């Protein structure tokens, strides 16, 4: 395998497993965003490294009011995985596996490893969880538990009326580990299985069973799940199953982006965001749209390694990687933001167009032809207001790849042709700037990372650009064509 970053450490105890089997377990509430990429990339990396198997498991249990399953996520997540270049071998839905969880629930009740608790959740927390004192439900016989279990299934108990608790031990010094709920009642309709089930497993329980049932050997996930891991281990021990190896990584924050799936969802629904590929969602779809090479994402994620420290990184790292990968293939164009139009006179009549290289490092790729649209000896060109404002009257400046002009500021600014030779402006220390001719240039809208639209004009040759083309607007930044036409739409990638 081609190393795509530094070498990560070996997975522990690989030899004790017939095969490395790992899993991706996203909760389908929206598309994968850049924060989820770490989980995907790490698991995918190790599975490829050990030639193992990767299972996509939609963790679509019923969730809660705050965390709801979104049907569209079942398509958007695989899309994101494909973008990332992750290879998964099969797809499993938790919601198809309720019968398995029920079977083990009955068994645990019979074994006396769990009980059906009818206590009020808030009261139980205060009186039992915190104090470490068992409630009376934990004394129930297997038969009593089984009949209570039936009452959970048949609807005798209302929602929150009863729940199955695993006997992890009320005397555990860690309150987080005391008799955690593993199954509970929810009558919320599920997008895939409707109202077929009213008893749903919690994450730690469903995984305690499924990591074994699916033959998972190694689990890499965020350290917010360590308690869940301990509960899983408790279950594995009850059945004497080989414990999958648990590895955790710390929380990842981005200094220059706020990632919130629920906020994104809200903004997408009410139209504040253009859709799930809006740059502000930081979804895989949005990165693809901006022309961020997924190899850059993978590199950045892999470079973080598996440390459990909380880290805060800058998108600049991602942009730096992306430039390295894509600069060589980004054709150059002129784009002028908020143009100031200059009337330039004295241009020699034989000069009707300018030629600029498609890519300065690769002369063999040819040149872009920029027609001047000359009338008499006068042409009308736009330069950036930003440039114009910093120029003094009389400045000698160069329109890049074209000619040098002397500026005369005024109500309607004009310029006088000075010379063709680039050395003239160099010796004068004058600026070299990008420009567009008024005639033939392409109105362009660039969607910035914060969702704002920057408008301006791209040079005429940009009219032939196809969607998906990654380019650089010289002295401005990289982006990806989203839509050709007038105006042309471009998604900004980075400087």
Partner RNA sequence: GCCCCGGUAGUGUAGUCCGGCCCAGCAUCUAGGGUUUUCGACCCUAUGACCCGGGUUCAAAUCCCGGCCGGGGCACCA
Which helix (H) or strand (E) segment is 84 a member of? helix 73-84
Taking the least distance from each CB to RNA, the nearer of 186 and 274 is 186
Taking the least distance from each CB to RNA, the nearer of 227 and 489 is 227
Instruction: Report d(CA 422, CA 315) in Å as an integer.
Output: 37
Instruction: Report d(CA 373, CA 439) in Å as an integer.
Output: 6
Taking the least distance from each CB to RNA, the nearer of 12 and 485 is 12
Taking the least distance from each CB to RNA, the nearer of 171 and 376 is 171
Taking the least distance from each CB to RNA, the nearer of 423 and 486 is 423
Burial class of residue 154 (count of CB atoms within 10 Å of its CB; 0-12, 13-18, 19+): exposed
Instruction: Report d(CA 337, CA 316) in Å as an integer.
Output: 23
250, 254, 322, 273: which is closest to 477 by C-alpha? 322
Pairing of strands 331-333, 21-24: unpaired
Pairing of strands 488-494, 442-447: parallel
Taking the least distance from each CB to RNA, the nearer of 105 and 117 is 117
Least distance from C-beta 357 to RNA, angstroms?
8
What is the number of other CB atoms lying within 10 angstroms of the CB of residue 103? 11
Instruction: Report d(CA 262, CA 298) in Å as an integer.
Output: 25
Least distance from C-beta 453 to RNA, angstroms?
20
Give strand ranges (E) for 178-241: 181-185, 199-201, 218-222
CA distances from 423 to 358, 370, 432 (A): 22, 21, 11
Least distance from C-beta 213 to RNA, angstroms?
17
Pairing of strands 442-447, 453-458: antiparallel
Q: DSSP 3-state assignment of 233?
A: helix
Least distance from C-beta 42 to RNA, angstroms?
12
Residue found under tokens 């992750």: 86
Taking the least distance from each CB to RNA, the nearer of 136 and 272 is 136
Burial class of residue 353 (count of CB atoms within 10 Å of its CB; 0-12, 13-18, 19+): middle
Taking the least distance from each CB to RNA, the nearer of 187 and 483 is 187
Taking the least distance from each CB to RNA, the nearer of 229 and 244 is 229
Taking the least distance from each CB to RNA, the nearer of 141 and 329 is 329
Give strand ranges (E) for 208-328: 218-222, 245-249, 252-254, 311-313
Taking the least distance from each CB to RNA, the nearer of 421 and 452 is 421
What is the number of other CB atoms lying within 10 angstroms of the CB of residue 254? 17
Task: For Cα atoms 384, 385, 389, give the angle at the middle one, nearest 5 degrees.
Answer: 125
Residue 5 · residue 302 · CB < 8 Å: yes
> Torsion angle of alpha carbons 483, 484, 487, 490, nearest 10°?
50
């Amino acid at each position: 395998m081609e190393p795509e970053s530094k070498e990560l450490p070996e997975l522990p105890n690989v030899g004790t497993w017939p095969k490395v089997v790992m899993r991706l377990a996203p909760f389908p509430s929206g598309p994968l965003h850049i924060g989820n990429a770490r989980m995907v990339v790490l698991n995918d990396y190790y599975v490829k490294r050990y030639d193992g198997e990767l299972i996509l498991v939609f963790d679509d249990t019923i969730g809660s009011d705050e965390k709801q399953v979104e049907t569209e996520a079942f398509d958007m997540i695989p899309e994101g995985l494909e973008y990332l270049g992750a290879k998964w071998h099969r797809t499993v839905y938790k919601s198809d596996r309720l019968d398995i969880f029920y079977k083990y629930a009955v068994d645990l009740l019979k074994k006396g490893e769990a009980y059906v608790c009818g206590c009020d959740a808030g009261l139980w927390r205060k009186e039992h969880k915190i104090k470490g004192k068992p409630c009376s439900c934990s004394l129930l016989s297997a038969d009593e538990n089984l009949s209570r279990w039936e009452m959970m299934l048949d609807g005798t108990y209302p929602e929150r009326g009863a729940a199955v608790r695993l006997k992890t031990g009320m005397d555990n010094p860690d309150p987080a580990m005391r008799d955690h709920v593993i199954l509970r009642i929810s009558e919320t309709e599920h997008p895939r299985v409707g109202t077929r089930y009213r008893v749903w497993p919690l994450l730690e329980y469903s995984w305690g069973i499924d990591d074994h049932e699916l033959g998972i050997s190694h689990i890499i996930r965020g350290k917010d799940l360590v308690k869940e891991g301990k509960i899983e281990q408790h279950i594995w021990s009850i059945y004497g199953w080989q414990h999958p190896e648990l590895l955790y990584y710390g929380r990842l924050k981005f200094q220059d982006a706020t990632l919130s799936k629920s906020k994104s969802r809200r903004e997408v629904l009410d139209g504040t965001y253009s859709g799930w590929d809006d740059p502000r969602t930081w979804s895989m779809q949005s990165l693809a749209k901006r022309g961020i090479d997924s190899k850059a994402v993978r590199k950045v994620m892999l470079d973080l390694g598996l440390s459990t420290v909380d880290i805060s990184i800058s998108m600049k790292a991602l942009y730096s990687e992306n430039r390295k990968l894509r600069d060589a293939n980004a054709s150059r164009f002129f784009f002028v933001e908020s143009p100031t139009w200059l009337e330039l006179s004295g241009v020699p009549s034989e000069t009707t167009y300018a030629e600029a290289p498609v890519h300065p490092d690769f002369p063999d790729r040819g040149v872009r032809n920029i027609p001047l649209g000359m009338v008499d000896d006068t042409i009308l060109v736009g330069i950036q207001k930003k440039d114009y404002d910093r120029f003094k009257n009389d400045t000698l400046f160069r329109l890049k790849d074209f000619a040098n002009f002397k500026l005369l500021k005024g109500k309607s600014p004009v310029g006088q042709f000075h010379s063709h030779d680039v050395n003239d402006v160099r010796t004068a220390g004058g600026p070299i700037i990008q420009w567009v001719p008024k005639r033939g240039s392409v109105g362009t809208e660039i969607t910035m990372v914060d969702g704002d639209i920057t408008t301006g004009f791209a040079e005429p040759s940009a009219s032939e650009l196809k969607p998906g083309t990654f380019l650089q607007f010289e002295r401005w930044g990289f982006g990806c064509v989203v839509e050709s036409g007038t105006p042309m739409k471009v998604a900004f990638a980075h400087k």
